[in-house]
Amino acid sequence: MESLMYGTEKGYLVPPEVKVFSLSTGSWKPISSNVPPYNMLDYCWSSVFVNGGIHWLGYSHRKDRDQSYCNLIMGFNVGDEIFKDMNLPKLLVDANPFNLSISVCGEMITVFQYDNRLKSKRCSVWIMKEYGVVESWSKQFTIEILLDLGRMVSC
């Protein structure tokens, strides 16, 4: 999958463009319906494959507040080529998206939240126990990171 977005802080100059590579035809096919208008983190554009779909962390800027974010998970079902949004737990919706990363633990979507505002750095691990059910998010634990090891990529 390839995604191309042109935008500014106030919104997109043109709608996002998404293409899917077909192994059977060896070519790229544009996807034009229901492409979500969210930002993805360019520097750590990680994705996970769960439940027949590719998932990324996405965010938008809240129009009602300055310097505030609205985070979510964007999903793309590879079978029917449809995008869908999934909500994060309330404590992560407004978090700085640059402090979040997505992973998989077993067959469950996992989100790591990093907090480096204090002298000791912390990482909280959240797991969505039932796919697509926002009420199933559970904070498993918080790890205090004593060394500067970087980010976790999986569990």
Rounded to whole angstroms, the Cα distance separating 18 from 51 reads 21
The DSSP output letter for 146 is: -
Q: What is the pLDDT of residue 42?
A: 57
Q: What is the pLDDT of residue 65?
A: 58
- Tell me how far the alpha carbon of residue 147 is from its chain's centroid: 26
* 59 part of a folded domain: yes
| φ and ψ at residue 8, rounded to 5 degrees | -130, 180
Q: Residue 84 pairs with which residues in a beta bridge? A: 75
* 57 part of a folded domain: yes
Distances (CA, A) of 95 to 1, 23, 28: 27, 37, 35
Rounded to whole angstroms, the Cα distance separating 60 from 10 reads 10
Higher-scoring residue by pLDDT: 5, 23? 23
Q: What is the pLDDT of residue 14?
A: 58
What domain count does the chain have?
A: 1
Q: Structure tokens of 128? A: 């969505």
Is the pLDDT at 153 greater than 90, yes or no?
no
- 86-140, pLDDT tens digit by residue? 999 999 998 888 889 999 999 999 999 988 776 668 899 999 999 999 999 999 9
Residue written as token pair 């998989």: 104
Residues 16-36, mean pLDDT to the nearest whole number? 84
Tell me, what amino acid is at 29?
A: K
* 113 part of a folded domain: yes
Is the pLDDT at 6 greater than 50, yes or no?
no
* 3 part of a folded domain: no
* 109 part of a folded domain: yes
Q: Residue 75 pairs with which residues in a beta bridge? A: 55, 84
* 5 part of a folded domain: no
Phi-psi region of 42 (alpha: psi -120 to 50; beta: other; left: phi over 0): alpha
* 125 part of a folded domain: yes
- 38-92, pLDDT tens digit by residue? 777 655 567 899 999 999 998 877 666 555 778 999 999 998 989 999 999 999 9
Domain that holds residue 51: 38-145
Q: Structure tokens of 93? A: 């919706």
* 9 part of a folded domain: no
Q: Are 127 and 112 in contact (CB under 8 A)?
A: no
